Amino acid sequence: MATSQFSISSNSISRFTNFASKPTSASNLFSIRPAIPRISTTRSLSVKSVSSNQKQIVKDPISEEEDASSDSVASFTPDAASIAASIKYHAEFTPSFSPEGFDSPKAYFATAESVRDALIINWNATYDYYEKINVKQAYYLSMEFLQGRALLNAIGNLELSGPYAEALTRLGHDLENVAREEPDAALGNGGLGRLASCFLDSLATLNYPAWGYGLRYKYGLFKQTITKDGQEEVAENWLEMGNPWEIVRNDISYPVKFYGKVVSGSDGKKHWIGGEDITAVAYDVPIPGYKTKTTINLRLWSTKVSPQEFDLSAYNAGEHSKAYEAHINAEKICYVLYPGDESREGKILRLKQQYTLCSASLQDIIARFERRSGRSVNWNEFPEKVAVQMNDTHPTLCIPELMRILIDVKGMSWKEAWDITQRTVAYTNHTVLPEALEKWNFELMQTLLPRHVEIIETIDKELIDTIVSECGTEDLDLLQKKLQEMRILDNFEFPASVMELFLKEEESSAVDSDFENEIKNEGDGIIDEVDETSTKEDESVNTEEDEEYEETEENEETEEKVIKPKRSELLKPNPKLPAVVRMANLCVVGGRAVNGVAEIHSEIVKQEVFNEFYKLWPKKFQNKTNGVTPRRWIRFCNPELSKIITKWTGTDDWVLDTEKLAELRKFADNEDLQTEWRAAKRNNKLKVASLIKEKTGYVVSPDAMFDIQVKRIHEYKRQLLNIMGIVYRYKKMKEMSAEERKAKFVPRVCIFGGKAFATYVQAKRIVKFITDVGATINHDAEIGNLLKVVFVPDYNVSVAELLIPASELSQHISTAGMEASGTSNMKFSMNGCVLIGTLDGANVEIREEVGEENFFLFGARAHEIADLRKERAEGKFVPDPRFEEVKAYVRSGAFGPYNYGELMGSLEGNEGFGRADYFLVGKDFPSYIECQEEVDEAYRDQKRWTRMSILNTAGSFKFSSDRTIREYAKDIWNIKPVELPGK
Q: Is the dihedral of CA 329, 330, 333, 336 positive or negative?
A: negative
Tell which residue, 713, 634, 811, has the closest CA to residue 190.
Answer: 713
Question: Could you give the CA distance from residue 610 to residue 550 in angstroms, rounded to a whole number?
Answer: 42
Q: Which of 620, 711, 748, 869 is catalytic?
A: 711
Question: Could you give the CA distance from residue 611 to residue 347 in angstroms, rounded to a whole number?
Answer: 29
Q: Which of 430, 452, 660, 812 is catalytic?
A: 430
The residue type of 537 is E
Residue 226: strand pairing partners? 231
Question: Could you give the CA distance from residue 777 to residue 730 in angstroms, rounded to a whole number?
Answer: 8
- Rounded to the nearest 10 degrees, the angle between the axes of helix 450-471 and helix 414-424 is 80
Residue 210: strand pairing partners? 138
Number of neighbours of residue 89 by Cβ within 10 angstroms: 27
| 3 state SS of 874 | coil
Question: Could you give the CA distance from residue 956 to residue 968 in angstroms, rounded to a whole number?
Answer: 20
Pairing of strands 295-304, 580-582: unpaired
Q: Which of 717, 755, 764, 963 is catalytic?
A: 717
Active site includes 788? Answer: no
Q: What is the CA radius of gyration of the chain?
A: 32
Q: Are the C-beta atoms of 721 and 923 separated by less than 8 Å?
A: no
Q: Is 36 left (phi over 0), alpha (psi -120 to 50) or beta?
A: beta
Number of neighbours of residue 51 by Cβ within 10 angstroms: 16
Element spanning 603, H or E = helix 599-604
Q: Which of 712, 788, 847, 887 is catalytic?
A: 712
Pairing of strands 223-227, 386-391: unpaired
The dihedrals phi and psi of 902, each to the nearest 5 degrees, come to -65, -40
Question: Could you give the CA distance from residue 374 to residue 561 in angstroms, rounded to a whole number?
Answer: 73
Pairing of strands 210-215, 295-304: parallel
The dihedrals phi and psi of 297, each to the nearest 5 degrees, come to -125, 140
Close Cβ partners of 320 (under 8 Å, ≥ 6 residues apart): 314
Active site includes 711? Answer: yes
Active site includes 717? Answer: yes
Question: Could you give the CA distance from residue 101 to residue 3 in angstroms, rounded to a whole number?
Answer: 10
| 3 state SS of 901 | helix
- Calculate the dihedral angle through the C-alpha atoms of 921, 927, 929, 933, rounding to the nearest 10 degrees: -160
User: Would you list the DSSP string of 469-521?
Assistant: HHH-SS-HHHHHHHHHHH-SEES-PPPHHHHHHHHHHHHHHHHHHHHHHHHHH
Q: Which of 90, 632, 718, 827 is catalytic?
A: 827
Q: Which of 421, 823, 838, 964 is catalytic?
A: 823
Active site includes 712? Answer: yes
Active site includes 823? Answer: yes
Q: Are the C-beta atoms of 139 and 312 separated by less than 8 Å?
A: no
The residue type of 751 is I
| 3 state SS of 175 | helix
The residue type of 844 is V
Tell which residue, 877, 881, 857, has the closest CA to residue 920.
Answer: 877
Q: Are the C-beta atoms of 123 and 287 separated by less than 8 Å?
A: no
Q: Encode burial over 356-386: b for 16+ CB neighbours within 10 A, e otherwise.
A: bbbbbbbbbbbebbeebeeeeeebeebbebb
Q: Are the C-beta atoms of 257 and 275 separated by less than 8 Å?
A: yes
| 3 state SS of 144 | coil
Rounded to the nearest 5 degrees, what angle is found at the Cα of 186, between the Cα atoms of 685 and 749? 20
The residue type of 168 is L
Active site includes 430? Answer: yes
Element spanning 281, H or E = strand 276-288
Tell which residue, 204, 388, 130, 424, has the closest CA to residue 965.
Answer: 204
Question: Could you give the CA distance from residue 642 to residue 652 in angstroms, rounded to a whole number?
Answer: 8
List active site positions.
430, 711-712, 717, 823, 827
